[in-house]
Structure 1
């Protein structure tokens, strides 16, 4: 789980603080990753079962888990046979709100089943936004407490912000940046269409796309042809996965970060870009309003190609200012999140 991009980052950053308290922890997963974590009283148990795989459900080390005081899972795929108190994280319910993003009806059913089951089995639930808390209450109607623990800036970025800002530019030309995959709810096709329109009106920045591009589709074959041509010319650059240090270097020197999503559980890259002093343009959706409404960002209608292309052509994005005080006052911070989670887990510790 710790290697999965979204959940993995949240888990890793939270564990950096959670494990540094002197308690005894049993960590289940890939030993090569787990041994990098802090804590002098960690017991590492190897498990390579993929998330939601039958092997995970029946083959998890139940006896070891049941020797603990409490079981904390970073997702809602709870294995069978757990008798100790369970605290589960649910980061989003995109499979409920946008079921079409999972093509397989079986895949949709499995994810919904495990989410409902997690609420039924858990003593308490952890989530990352009021938006997701409301979705959990709407769809799953839990009879247990739900705790909102906002995300924040990674320890690496906090410690090395000045280095990323002073470091060399990744490219010797101006570029705009998109970070994410090509799933429908990421709404990348609107950014592509807006970018192509802006280029025809003398917008001279290149577009850098960070993330997996497999499965990119739009309903307009002409858009795909133009995309392929610009990628061939080097005006659109697709990098695939990049490690965090390279990602932060890209963020630190972009003209603007664009996040056109239709749906997110939180949406972390804009916060990181703002921390690096870069402009951010966001789709006007509830979760982004919750997290970013009091921060220096520019919102646009996620269904309007024309509105986004006009923002690009006119460079009409808000000038960023320091967000350090806001991060602290609103507890947009992994240390604060870890403290809340720890206070929940401690209730069940013997």
Structure 2
């Protein structure tokens, strides 16, 4: 059996969907030893894909890092390359795929429908609507749709009009948390001390992440009781800089950009609270990661974060700075014994989400999709 894996959009900088393929593909090779995997990628991702992919990597040189050539590649190249490679199945794991039903069966992983739920405003609305249309078409023409949470499956069914029996949920996994015995050297490299409770949050600066809402919540806490807040991500010119200044939080908030794995591990080890103010997510991996690292988690009260955090996270409406700020303050004031009980239970909960289990679930879907269109005797 041969599976063509559509990695045209892979460039090493697209966050969660790329973590998904990096974690799953080596494991899929282990649980599907009879399958030959062939990657199809563009020039900007070829070297990165070759480092983890368990098979041959074919490159389309005219597909770059931009979404325009990526979309053209999906339309013009994937189906033709699949036929040329004599593939039994095409798997598109990163939301996008060919827009028409081809001769080769196809599975697409749709991680979320954020472009529908948070369409953006002004000039940003048009490109987001185009992206949503491409995702919709890729999902509607696929033989099977994979997604990563029950909440995401319900949203896909609602916004795209797909029948529930065409969608299969396979939860993401999480990597075991790195134990950092002494976080202080890495914290010092970020200009941090441990004199104040530390609140951590992390992610890109897309609108649905709602970091401005988190900062507004921090501003509602009495100055002498505010945690030292670190929001990882955002790059060199962080758009949150202006929000920090407008709220007068310069002495309370650190925006370090993207950090090293060692620094992130130290931040998890030192943090009292991890805050996830996202308005919507496909899975909510940061919540699971933070619980696994032993952090107390305050998350926006939406179904997907309750699904992945269970009863082990704390929830409040992150659209209300007052409510979210009160919940952060309440968690910071917990007695030491209750904190430790919550941390222990949270770690055990997070261990339920493994990439090995994800790989087994995805393998079942890939085999079923290949066999449904071309049954083998």
Query: TM class, shorter-chain normalised?
Result: 0.7 to 0.9
Deviations 1:182-239 (A, max 9, x none): 3332222222122123242x12532111111657379xx9x65345x543x5x32111
- Which residue number corresponds to residue 185 of structure 1? 208
Contact persistence 1:165–1:253 (CA under 8 A): no
SS class of match (1:28): strand
- Which residue number corresponds to residue 205 of structure 1? 227
Contact persistence 2:113–2:152 (CA under 8 A): yes
SS class of match (2:21): helix
SS class of match (2:363): helix
Residue 282 of structure 1 pairs with residue 305 of structure 2:
no
Deviations 1:58-93 (A, max 9, x none): 553544322211000012321367531110011111
- Which residue number corresponds to residue 97 of structure 1? 117
Contact persistence 2:95–2:135 (CA under 8 A): yes
Contact persistence 1:51–1:77 (CA under 8 A): no
- Which residue number corresponds to residue 367 of structure 2? 346
Contact persistence 1:182–1:216 (CA under 8 A): yes
SS class of match (1:302): coil
- Which residue number corresponds to residue 59 of structure 2? 46
> Partners of 1:115 and 1:290 in 2: how far apart?
24
Residue 311 of structure 1 pairs with residue 327 of structure 2:
yes
> Partners of 1:336 and 1:102 in 2: how far apart?
42
Gapped regions of structure 2 (runs ≥ 5): 1-8
> Partners of 1:97 and 1:35 in 2: how far apart?
34
After TM superposition, list the pairs within 5 Å mapping 1:39-188 onto structure 2.
Answer: 39=54, 42-47=55-60, 48-50=63-65, 52-54=67-69, 55-58=72-75, 60=77, 62-66=79-83, 67-79=86-98, 82-100=102-120, 103-143=123-163, 145-154=166-175, 158=176, 161-162=178-179, 164-168=180-184, 170=187, 171-173=192-194, 174=196, 175-188=198-211
CA distance 1:217–1:35, change in 2 (3 Å):
closer
Q: Which moved more, 1:313-322 or 1:9-18?
A: 313-322
- Which residue number corresponds to residue 5 of structure 2? none
Contact persistence 1:52–1:77 (CA under 8 A): no
Aligned-residue RMSD, C-alpha: 2.8
> Partners of 1:140 and 1:80 in 2: how far apart?
14
4+ residue stretches of structure 1 with deviation over 6 A?
none
User: Under a length normalisation based on structure 1, what TM-score does the superposition of the two structures give?
Assistant: 0.84
> Partners of 2:284 and 2:122 in 1: how far apart?
20
> 1:126 Cα shift?
0.4
Deviations 1:36-72 (A, max 9, x none): 2263xx0111245336424433553544322211000
Matched positions, count: 333
> Partners of 2:307 and 2:329 in 1: how far apart?
27
> 1:103 Cα shift?
3.8
> 1:117 Cα shift?
1.2
- Which residue number corresponds to residue 8 of structure 1? 18
> 1:149 Cα shift?
1.0
SS class of match (1:100): coil
> 1:5 Cα shift?
0.8
